[in-house]
Amino acid sequence: MHEMAIAEALIEQVLELARQNNAEKVCEVEVSLGVMRLVVPEALEVAFAALAEGTIVQGATLAQVEKPITARCRQCSVEYQPPPGDLQCPQCHQADYVIVDGDEIILKSLVCDTEKGATQQ
């Protein structure tokens, strides 16, 4: 279950950002997940909640945004979102591509409580 390792890295990043911004409580975490990473959303949520326990992240909402695959054809430069299992270019029908999106995991934002009130980062 690679979701546990992903959640662990995510919690570390969140705690570091919260510390840098004097957050007292993390309320929401938004993460962008490329579909090529094959993350099971429910498993990530369970791992995130388990690892957040006992920290200022405990109870935070984990918002997961799925990013589809985007490929760019090396032959004709068209960008397209291929259906699963078929990376062939819809314009020139070549299977010579580079993946430009959908293979990432990005921490997009945090909503935290500070002594000054809620803040978004």
Answer yes or no: is 95 within a domain. Answer: no
Distance CA 47, CA 11 (A): 10
- pLDDT tens-digit map of 55-91: 999 999 999 999 999 999 999 999 999 987 898 999 9
Answer yes or no: is 83 within a domain. Answer: no
Answer yes or no: is 96 within a domain. Answer: no
Per-residue pLDDT, 121: 52
- pLDDT tens-digit map of 105-115: 999 999 999 87
What is the count of structural domains for the chain? 1
- pLDDT tens-digit map of 18-42: 999 999 999 999 999 999 899 999 9
Answer yes or no: is 87 within a domain. Answer: no
Give the predicted TM-score (pTM) of the model.
0.82
Answer yes or no: is 84 within a domain. Answer: no
Q: What is the domain range of residue 44?
A: 3-68+102-113
Answer yes or no: is 43 within a domain. Answer: yes
Q: What is the domain-level CATH number for residue 8?
A: 3.30.2320.50
